[in-house]
């Protein structure tokens, strides 16, 4: 039963396709946009279209970029000999925000997951091994997730690169800073204990 | 610090202007749209633009409409002698969903609120009194909200129409159907008791 005019019902339907936006929220957002200034709606619509047309992947690292090479790959002051391998562009952004890494990235756009049909050819692993061979890489930091798939992907990469003369590291997993031990799950605590280091 | 390409940062900014969408949610939505099929993004962008250009207000009731008269005002099988006064288009839709009303509506687009500078001239009251005089209205149902502003608006309308030979009614307020008495606030319970009726 369509109670709003067709164009509004259509917008509600389009908005409710977004993740985490149910029909009620979509209705609220659509009614908000209807009342919002023309410029704001135009800016949002144009923003969506523009984002889709201008953003592609960096030809080297696979990060999001509006140019052939992304800002980090173009930056001569970054250490191009250290590659940090992550699953998604958002992971790279999270690491950049932490300001703890001055090397370059390699974004896989996924993690190995045979159950979902994601094998080595479905993610950007070939490109990683090519870069390691060509770019004079001295260290590969495995920063895939700590999920089963992330761990499997890290293990796979480590196995493939083990015979090369490069340093292979894995980001630490353990108790989050400020985390209360009694609220941390057992697997994390076990890992934190196993990978304990000299104080 | 802009870590995503400019077009993506722009979309995140536009999305976070929506009500209830914080920067984190906006980032998640933008990244979702970036991965989503081209058609879906185009449909969303077009939906926003189209909604803004095609939807206006019904010249009679003030409801949302893509034509000069809305679907309800155009419908000859509705009772055009009974007007239900509501604050917002969404209120009208909620009443329509309940399927309990076969008359026509009048949407005020607001409620009296002197503190916010909303007087009788800022909402569609003049249009209401004009309709009551011209359209052979026999009953006006006051269905403004039960907030202070909604009650004040209902009282104002009742005062203005009291000398005319029309029936004036107010939607009941009381315990919601299925509501547990012990969780209902005191003001609502007081009202429910005061407006009790023969069983």
Residues of A in contact with B50 (CB under 8 A): 7, 10-11
Q: Quote the CA–CA distance of B31 and B28 in Å, as a whole number.
A: 5
| Closest approach of B61 to chain A, Cα-based (Å) | 14
Residues of A in contact with B4 (CB under 8 A): 64, 89, 93
- Per residue in B5-15, pLDDT (tens digit) is 999 999 999 99
Q: Do B54 and A11 touch (CB under 8 A)?
A: no
- Report the residue of chain B nearest A17, measured CA to CA: B40
Residues of A in contact with B46 (CB under 8 A): 45
pTM of the entire predicted model: 0.79
Integer CA distances (angstroms), B47 to A10, A78, B164, in order: 7, 43, 45
Mean pLDDT over A85-100 rounds to 91
The ipTM is 0.80
Sign for the CA dihedral angle at A180, A186, A192, A196 comes to positive
Q: Do A66 and B14 touch (CB under 8 A)?
A: no
Residues of B in contact with A27 (CB under 8 A): 90
Q: Quote the CA–CA distance of A61 and A124 in Å, as a whole number.
A: 9
- Per residue in A95-122, pLDDT (tens digit) is 998 888 999 999 999 999 999 999 999 9
Q: Do B45 and A49 touch (CB under 8 A)?
A: yes
């Amino acid at each position: 039963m369509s109670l709003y005019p067709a164009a509004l019902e259509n917008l509600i339907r389009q908005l409710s396709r977004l993740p985490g936006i149910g029909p009620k929220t979509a209705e609220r957002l659509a009614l908000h946009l209807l009342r919002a200034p023309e410029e704001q709606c135009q800016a949002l619509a144009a923003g969506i279209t523009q984002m889709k047309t201008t953003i592609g992947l960096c030809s080297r690292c696979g990060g999001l970029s509006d140019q052939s090479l992304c800002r980090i790959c173009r930056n001569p002051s970054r250490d191009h000999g250290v590659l940090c391998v992550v699953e998604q562009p958002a992971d790279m952004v999270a690491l950049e925000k932490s300001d703890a890494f001055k090397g370059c990235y390699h974004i896989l756009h996924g993690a190995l997951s045979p159950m979902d049909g994601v094998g080595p050819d479905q993610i950007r692993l070939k490109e990683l091994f090519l870069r390691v061979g060509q770019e004079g890489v001295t260290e590969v930091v495995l920063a895939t997730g700590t999920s089963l798939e992330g761990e499997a992907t890290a293990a796979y990469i480590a196995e493939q690169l083990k015979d090369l003369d490069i340093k292979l590291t894995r980001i630490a997993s353990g108790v989050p800073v400020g985390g209360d031990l009694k609220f941390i799950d057992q697997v994390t605590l076990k890992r934190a204990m196993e990978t304990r280091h000299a104080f």
